[in-house]
A and B are shown apart, each in its own frame.
Chain A
Amino acid sequence: MKSSDVIVARHAWTSLIHRRLGVLAGLTAALCGCFLANLSIGPVPLSLSSLFHTLLHGNDGSAAATVVWHLRLPFAVMAILTGFALGLAGAEMQTILDNPLASPFTLGLSAAAAFGASLAIVMGWHLPFGAAWGGEGIVAVNAFIFAIGSALLLDLIARWRGGTRGTVVLFGIALVFTFQALVALVQFVASEDALQDLVFWTMGSMTRANWPKIAVLGGACLLVAPWSLRSAWSLTALRMGEDRAASLGVNVPAVRLASLMRISILAALAVAFSGTIGFVGLVAPHIARRLLGEDHRFYLSGSAVVGCLIMSCASLAARGLLPGEVLPVGIVTALVGIPFFLATVLRDGRTS
């Protein structure tokens, strides 16, 4: 064993880490550009200088400031936070279920959360202390309850003896259809007013974004992201197989349960505030894995940033595709995501 070999290996490792940090920085820069474009492009175009002026001086009541602070900024920030939540949730889900087709959307978490939310809307449930929220609080809580319920169910199936990858996917698809049917049922019996609300959930859109919701989702992301990164090494080990990870000292059931909690919090809040948005949680982890590898310190952060980037681009496209119309973002992500989804299915089918 030559010490030069060790130095070479050490050097290669350091440059690998640097390259990954570089990729993360590049993604973040692209995200910043997209975010600014979101703020300046629209029916009332704003130059970058007047945009910065408005951002720095707060809402001074001018027309431009009102457009930025009341419309574009909340939408743009909400899009990014939703992308962050879905990207991170999808990345963790693919790891703990060991399944490249796992995401909150494909395996029914989003559908379950949407059903929970629509139930709360139609029944007119309210939290005792949530008057200021106009019922939004209970909607989010109910979405969370249904999301965690289906997440636990999926985990049970995945660990069940004889439960293979295929079983989990099929079960997830069954969950999607079940909850979609239930949402349709709720829509059928809903009143005119509630129906308006419900259509919003099923399409996925940023138009209901406001600052209190942003604070809640942003706070959740801020709490969950470090919690998630603390498990990064354990999750990386889990990628090498459950037994191998356990023999390395990882408490696999505990890591799994914590991960399911995080996934449910993120997916439920994203759905409760932005409706069902498909394919971001599926596509972002794949892109992150390609760019950054399996080291979960980079893979998890990368998937979250890629999720932000996709949502930011999609919300730009949602406003640009049809002049004068704002399409629901969910439609855009689905249109872009389905080809990617099919490509993944085909590639996975070939290798396994």
Chain B
Amino acid sequence: MNGLVAGPLNVHIGRRPILHDVTLGPLARGTVTALLGPNGSGKSTLLRALAGLLPAHGPITLNGQALSSLSRPAHARLCAYMPQALPPPIRMQVMESVLVSLRVQGGSLHDEAFSQAMETLSRLGIADMALRFMDELSGGQRQLVGLAQALVRSPDLLLLDEPLSALDLRHQFTVMDLLRRETKKRRMVSVIVLHDLSMALRHTDVATMLAKGRVLASGPVREVVTSAILAQAYGVQARVEDDASGMPMVCVDGVV
């Protein structure tokens, strides 16, 4: 079985159950999945469980391999995860932080590593920042560096927690566009937590909607982002319409 299949998963933090019988997938290689849901619905928790940072009760298999049986380093070789929190403003160069991301697993810093790092930075449009220090960058710029740290490792499974939260309009667009192209090209499974539903409609293939730690809907993104499901998940009255150029968008009219 190719791609990611997870669940049913149950996750507890301390004694508190957070996720209840959550299933995800099968998500084919080369597809971008949007993970949607209101605040506190368990999106970050699910992503952390997939990244192996939280113990999950239930199976997670990637390309036929059970992820839970892997050691931490072996897991990290297959899977790159970007946390919701921005990279901290520390006295480290952008280039250096990307190289650390490549080097932690061992090996040496050969020319290959430098070209990989520079290529990733230039794809994200921040090659000119390579030699700047993280404590001199804005939040959005650091978020791009965080993305570079994840992308540079060419994982099989890419998990991004709200990668657009600090980005301006232009970068939101270029990042989503880049993620879609890279996902296809490298045949990754990408799971991305998003708050912007129009963005999800335009730039992702499939979606899973969480609410209160359970899956509310799952499937092609146009079938998940609908008035009925949005009303149920967020408690809003919303319409999904096509704009003048035929692109789908979500308009919120009020609360129910």
- What is the distance, in angstroms, from B92's C-beta to the closest C-beta of chain A? 4
Task: Of the listed stretches A27-35, A239-247, A274-282, A306-314, name the one at the interface; the rest are far from the partner chain.
Answer: A239-247
Kindly state whether residue A185 has any CB partner on chain B within 8 Å.
no
- What is the distance, in angstroms, from A242's C-beta to the closest C-beta of chain B? 9
Interfacial chain B residues near A293, Cβ < 8 Å: 91-93, 96, 133
Chain B residue with minimal CB distance to A240? B87
Interfacial chain A residues near B122, Cβ < 8 Å: 1, 5
Contact A241 B104 (CB under 8 A): no
Give the complex CA separation of A147 and B153 in angstroms.
40
Give the complex CA separation of A240 and B88 in angstroms.
6
Interface residues of B in 43-101 (CB under 8 A from A): 48, 51-53, 72-73, 75-77, 79-83, 85, 87-88, 90-93, 95-97, 99-101
Kindly state whether residue B103 has any CB partner on chain A within 8 Å.
yes
Contact among A1, A10, A247 for B111, CB-based, below 8 A: A10
Contact A9 B14 (CB under 8 A): no
Contact A243 B83 (CB under 8 A): yes
- What is the distance, in angstroms, from A238's C-beta to the closest C-beta of chain B? 10
Interfacial chain B residues near A233, Cβ < 8 Å: 100, 103-104
Contact among A5, A6, A9, A289 for B91, CB-based, below 8 A: A289
Give the complex CA separation of A319 and B29 in angstroms.
71
Given known pairs A233-B100, A243-B53, A243-B81, the reply for A10 and B119 (CB within 8 Å) is: no
Give the complex CA separation of A234 and B72 in angstroms.
13
- What is the distance, in angstroms, from B163's C-beta to the closest C-beta of chain A? 14
Give the complex CA separation of A290 and B135 in angstroms.
12
Interfacial chain B residues near A294, Cβ < 8 Å: 90-92, 96
- What is the distance, in angstroms, from B150's C-beta to the closest C-beta of chain A? 8
Give the complex CA separation of A190 and B166 in angstroms.
61
Given known pairs A12-B131, A247-B79, A248-B104, the reply for A239 and B90 (CB within 8 Å) is: yes
Kindly state whether residue B149 has any CB partner on chain A within 8 Å.
yes
- What is the distance, in angstroms, from A98's C-beta to the closest C-beta of chain B? 8
B93-124: contact bitstring with A at CB < 8 Å (1 yes, 0 no)? Answer: 10111011101110001010011011100110
Contact A250 B72 (CB under 8 A): yes
Contact B104 A237 (CB under 8 A): yes
Chain A residue with minimal CB distance to B133? A293
Contact A236 B87 (CB under 8 A): no
Give the complex CA separation of A10 and B99 in angstroms.
11
Contact among B14, B52, B95, B115 for A12, CB-based, below 8 A: B95
Kindly state whether residue B130 has any CB partner on chain A within 8 Å.
yes
Kindly state whether residue A161 has any CB partner on chain B within 8 Å.
yes
Kindly state whether residue A128 has any CB partner on chain B within 8 Å.
no
Kindly state whether residue B240 has any CB partner on chain A within 8 Å.
no
Interfacial chain B residues near A236, Cβ < 8 Å: 92, 100, 104
- What is the distance, in angstroms, from B51's C-beta to the closest C-beta of chain A? 5
Give the complex CA separation of A244 and B92 in angstroms.
15
Contact A6 B115 (CB under 8 A): yes
Chain A residue with minimal CB distance to B155? A247
Give the complex CA separation of A289 and B149 in angstroms.
22
Kindly state whether residue B229 has any CB partner on chain A within 8 Å.
no
Point out which of A9, A251, A293 has the most chain B C-beta atoms below 10 A from its C-beta. Answer: A9
Contact A234 B104 (CB under 8 A): yes
Contact B101 A239 (CB under 8 A): no
Kindly state whether residue A215 has any CB partner on chain B within 8 Å.
no
Contact A13 B75 (CB under 8 A): no
16 contacts between A and B (CB under 8 A): A5-B122, A9-B117, A9-B118, A13-B95, A13-B96, A240-B88, A240-B149, A241-B87, A243-B81, A244-B83, A244-B87, A246-B72, A247-B52, A249-B75, A249-B77, A293-B92
B positions within 8 Å CB-CB of A: 14, 48, 51-53, 72-73, 75-77, 79-83, 85, 87-88, 90-93, 95-97, 99-101, 103-105, 109, 111, 114-115, 117-119, 122-123, 127, 130-131, 133, 146, 149
- Known: A1-B115, A6-B115, A241-B85; 10 extra A-B contacts, CB below 8 A, are A1-B118, A12-B131, A13-B95, A13-B96, A237-B100, A243-B81, A247-B52, A248-B76, A248-B105, A249-B76
